[in-house]
């Protein structure tokens, strides 16, 4: 690789670490911060934050159009600056109305980020390098979130209310620095392939609606995306209320997942690039399903020591499924989207993550209330359907999306040289009658 390419990747990773560290400082304290500065009850703060996040989903389709028109780099940097501006106004919040306004501003930047960053990656790395970069991104983001959380805890341990504002301004500064890092990455210009069919940029999201294989890939991701949410929503309630474990165990399980992703994502993805992306995504979903089956089975186990071992086994399986599915699924969908309308395609695909994240608290808690095992059975069935569906969809997806490494072109077989024919004289002519 060239030095320029290495420099671009270094800047990308630096921006990602700064972003994740700042987010890790603030995310654990988001509810507490607004409760502290406004005096509003936690339930009201949570309702306002959810409402802003749902309304912020409108920026997803808008981001797709902006990406296709102005490029992913412009949308990524613009989203960072928008969030930085929102965080700079946090200290001005003193009531519910102003709180909703600034949270909505940040939510618009948050929702535009996933399709923009995936399109951006697709613009400056290709093939197996895309899978490896996405793996490194997931690993560094998990590490950055953890470090940010530790920093926030240490700062707040000093016991001064002013440190709430310190954390907010540090998060804003992190977004600005990330914008600088990403904005300085050069995008290589590639010559258009005259043999490849061109796709018109006109037609809005009707172009995406006509791409049936991509829509199928998006819909098949919804059950798996619901599975991802159990770490924050389903597992804490199930482990503490239905299995009778201590609250401290939830933090340990979260640490197992976070550390596992940080340490193993890169080597796992390096191993998976030798296989079809669809097979790796399907295997990850199948491992998710096995994890949910183990969680469901624990509800009928009375021995506390067996339950404890089973919870760790199920969490390890969940982490393994995430390692196989996460980065590979992102690379698969980014490559499956046509280059000319990649922004709009990835904006639609990101709805398969955003909608389950928004609905998960209500849906999963309702299933847990119905039965301790209902949630896990539904999630296991959904992940199984997703795995089988991706395998069936494989022949309809672009080959360059399915195969991380370009398939070797078949070599033409050498044609045997024609043998000279002996000259035929008049005697060789057939007899005339």
Indicate whether this model's pTM tops 0.75. Answer: no
Look at residues 252, 224, 222, 236 and name the one whose alpha carbon lies nearest to residue 368.
236
CA distance 119 to 218: 16
Q: Give the span between the Cα atoms of 400 and 141, in whole angstroms.
A: 27
For 338, left (φ over 0), alpha (ψ -120 to 50), or beta?
beta
Collect all residues with Cβ–Cβ distance below 8 Å to 225 and sequence separation of at least 6.
352, 353, 356, 357
pLDDT by residue, tens only, the chain of 433 residues:
444 455 777 888 888 888 888 877 776 667 677 877 778 887 787 778 878 878 877 777 888 888 888 888 899 999 999 999 999 998 888 888 888 888 888 888 888 888 888 788 877 777 677 777 777 777 777 777 777 777 776 776 676 667 778 888 888 998 999 999 888 888 766 544 333 344 444 556 788 888 899 999 999 999 999 999 888 778 888 888 888 887 778 778 877 888 888 888 889 988 888 889 999 999 999 999 999 999 999 988 878 888 899 999 999 999 999 999 988 898 898 888 888 888 888 888 988 888 888 788 778 888 888 888 889 999 999 999 999 999 999 999 998 888 876 655 555 555 555 555 555 544 444 444 3
Q: DSSP secondary-structure letter at 202?
A: T
């Amino acid at each position: 690789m060239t030095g320029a390419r290495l420099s671009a990747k270094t800047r990308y990773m630096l921006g990602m670490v700064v972003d994740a560290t700042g987010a890790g400082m603030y995310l654990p304290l988001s509810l507490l911060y607004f409760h502290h500065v406004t005096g509003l009850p936690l339930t009201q703060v949570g309702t306002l934050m959810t409402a802003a996040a749902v309304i912020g989903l409108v920026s997803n389709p808008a981001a797709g159009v902006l990406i296709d028109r102005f490029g992913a780099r412009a949308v990524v940097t613009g989203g960072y600056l928008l969030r930085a501006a929102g965080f700079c106004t946090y200290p001005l919040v003193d009531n519910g109305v102003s709180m909703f306004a600034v949270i909505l501003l940040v939510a618009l930047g948050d929702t535009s980020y996933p399709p923009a960053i995936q399109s951006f990656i697709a613009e400056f790395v290709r093939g197996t390098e895309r899978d490896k970069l996405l793996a490194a991104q997931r690993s560094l983001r998990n590490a950055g979130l953890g470090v940010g959380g530790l920093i926030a805890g240490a700062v707040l341990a000093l016991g001064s209310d002013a440190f709430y504002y310190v954390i907010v301004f540090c998060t804003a500064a992190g977004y600005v620095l990330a914008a600088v890092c990403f904005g300085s990455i050069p995008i290589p210009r590639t010559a258009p392939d005259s043999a490849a069919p061109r796709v018109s940029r006109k037609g809005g999201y009707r172009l995406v609606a006509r791409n049936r294989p991509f829509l199928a890939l998006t819909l098949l991701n919804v059950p798996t995306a619901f599975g991802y949410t159990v770490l924050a929503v389903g597992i804490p309630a199930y482990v503490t209320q239905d299995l009778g474990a201590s609250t401290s165990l939830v933090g340990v399980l979260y640490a197992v997942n976070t550390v596992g992703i940080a340490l193993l994502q890169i080597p796992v993805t390096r191993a998976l690039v030798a296989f079809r992306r669809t097979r790796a995504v399907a295997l990850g979903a199948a491992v998710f399903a096995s994890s949910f089956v183990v969680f469901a089975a624990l509800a009928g186990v009375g021995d506390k020591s067996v339950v404890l071992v089973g919870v760790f086994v199920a969490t390890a399986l969940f982490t393994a499924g995430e390692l196989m599915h996460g980065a590979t699924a992102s690379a698969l969908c980014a490559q499956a989207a046509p280059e000319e309308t990649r922004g709009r395609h990835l904006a639609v695909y990101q709805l398969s993550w955003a909608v389950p994240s928004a609905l998960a608290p209500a849906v999963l808690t309702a299933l847990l209330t119905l039965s301790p095992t209902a949630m896990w059975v539904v999630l296991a069935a959904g992940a199984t359907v997703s795995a089988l569906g991706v395998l069936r969809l494989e022949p309809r997806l672009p080959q360059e999306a399915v195969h991380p490494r370009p398939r070797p072109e078949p070599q033409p077989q050498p044609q045997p040289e024609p043998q000279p024919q002996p000259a035929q004289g008049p005697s060789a002519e057939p007899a005339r009658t």
